């Protein structure tokens, strides 16, 4: 059985929980208090961060790597595109999400006021840029829910919590976010600490 060491408020862990629930398979989640991490976490992940996936002799960390592994092991429903070209594009998007959106989370969480404000602005501007996509399509890659939707959902869930205000032109993005939040797997994957992040 797969075991996921998951931070109760960690957006990267939330991604992995969403994928596990989308797949509807047997797994175990071990909740990790990010302010009081168990000692074995640093043994499993040299960066001492969540999430960490353990299956028999395999230990994986980094949410996108974990999620691709789960998707390959349990292909239904498939979350990464089957076509190599689309798959490569999806990986490029995931890379951009990390660099342009999620790289700002540390500054928002624990930077100076100036760093946090700059990071909030960067996230707001990047999200506003992608909003028009959702005028024409339901999900990131079109009509089908995919790994890209999984990847961005935890950030969209935390916008209020992070103090990020989106402008009116981002309305299509907020409608898209509500679509993600209403998925049964998304709801099941929420921890008690995450539920209170959104009013």
Can 10 be counted among the known catalytic residues?
yes
Q: Are strands 52-55 and 27-32 parallel, antiparallel or unpaired?
A: unpaired
Q: Which residue pairs, CB below 8 angstroms and at least 24 apart, start in 95-99?
A: 97/148, 97/151, 97/152, 98/64
Residue 1: which pLDDT band, with cuts at 50, 70 and 90? confident
Core vs surface per residue 21-32: b (16+ CB within 10 A) or e: bbbeeebebeeb
Which burial class, exposed, middle or buried, applies to 182 when counting CB atoms under 10 A from its CB (0-12, 13-18, 19+)? exposed
pLDDT by residue (tens digit) across 16-70? 999 999 999 899 999 999 888 999 999 999 999 999 999 999 999 999 999 999 9
Residue 171 to residue 174: CA distance in whole angstroms = 5
Fold of the domain spanning 2-77+190-195 = Glutaredoxin (3.40.30)
Is the CATH number 2.40.110.10 carried by domain 84-183? no
pLDDT by residue (tens digit) across 149-190? 999 999 999 999 999 999 999 999 999 999 999 999 999 999
Q: Among the options 2, 4, 10, 19, which is catalytic?
A: 10
- The reply to whether the predicted model has a pTM over 0.85 is yes
Task: Give whole-number Cα distances, 144 to 33, 54, 171, in Å.
Answer: 34, 29, 20
Q: Which residue pairs, CB below 8 angstroms and at least 24 apart, start in 121-124?
A: 123/155, 123/162, 123/164, 124/164, 124/165, 124/166, 124/167
DSSP class of 139: B
DSSP class of 76: S
> In a 3-state reduction of DSSP, which class is residue 156?
helix
pLDDT by residue (tens digit) across 87-144? 999 999 999 999 999 999 999 999 999 999 999 999 999 999 999 999 999 999 999 9
Q: What residue segments make up the domains of the chain, in order of their start? A: 2-77+190-195, 84-183
């Amino acid at each position: 059985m797969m075991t996921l060491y998951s931070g109760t408020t960690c957006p990267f862990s939330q991604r992995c929980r969403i994928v596990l629930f989308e797949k509807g398979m047997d797994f175990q989640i071990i909740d990790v208090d990010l302010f009081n991490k168990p000692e074995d976490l640093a043994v499993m992940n040299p960066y001492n961060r969540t999430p960490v996936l353990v299956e028999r002799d395999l230990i994986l960390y980094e949410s996108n790597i974990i999620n691709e592994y789960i998707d390959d092991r349990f292909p239904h429903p498939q979350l990464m595109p089957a076509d190599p070209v689309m798959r490569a594009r999806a990986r490029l998007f995931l890379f951009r999400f990390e660099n342009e959106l999620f790289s700002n989370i540390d500054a928002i969480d624990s930077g100076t006021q100036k760093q946090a404000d700059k990071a909030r602005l960067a996230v707001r501007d990047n999200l506003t840029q992608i909003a028009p996509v959702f005028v024409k399509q339901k999900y990131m890659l079109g009509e089908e829910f995919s790994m890209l939707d999984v990847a961005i959902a935890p950030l969209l869930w935390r916008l209020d919590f992070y103090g990020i205000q989106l402008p009116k032109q981002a309305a299509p993005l907020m409608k898209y976010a509500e679509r993600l939040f209403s998925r049964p797997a998304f709801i099941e994957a929420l921890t008690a600490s995450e539920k209170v992040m959104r009013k």
